[in-house]
Amino acid sequence: MSSADDPTTEPIFLTPREAFLIMSDFIWDYAQRAGDDLITLLGGTDLEADGQPADPAAWEDWLVSVKRIESGLPPRSGT
């Protein structure tokens, strides 16, 4: 993970609606790739003691969803 993607560096501010859309997009994309394994999803989205994501790939996927929604695209519009 690069320092630009470090979850502890630059804060962003989201409305509750934006946060909900990002969450919806992230979960949808996850389900398309990995199915309905909620336990694996929850484990991958945990934070370690150092503040880093337990699953760096999940963090990258989250950032994709953030960028998608911030750019005005609808949720679930990715691949």
Check whether 58 has a pLDDT greater than 80: yes
Residue 9 has what pLDDT? 62
**pLDDT above 90: percentage of residues in the chain:** 37
The answer to whether residue 9 sits within a structural domain is no
The CA distance from 32 to 48, in Å, is: 26
The answer to whether residue 18 sits within a structural domain is no
The answer to whether residue 21 sits within a structural domain is no
The answer to whether residue 57 sits within a structural domain is yes
Range of the domain at 45: 38-73
The answer to whether residue 52 sits within a structural domain is yes
The CA distance from 25 to 56, in Å, is: 18
The answer to whether residue 64 sits within a structural domain is yes
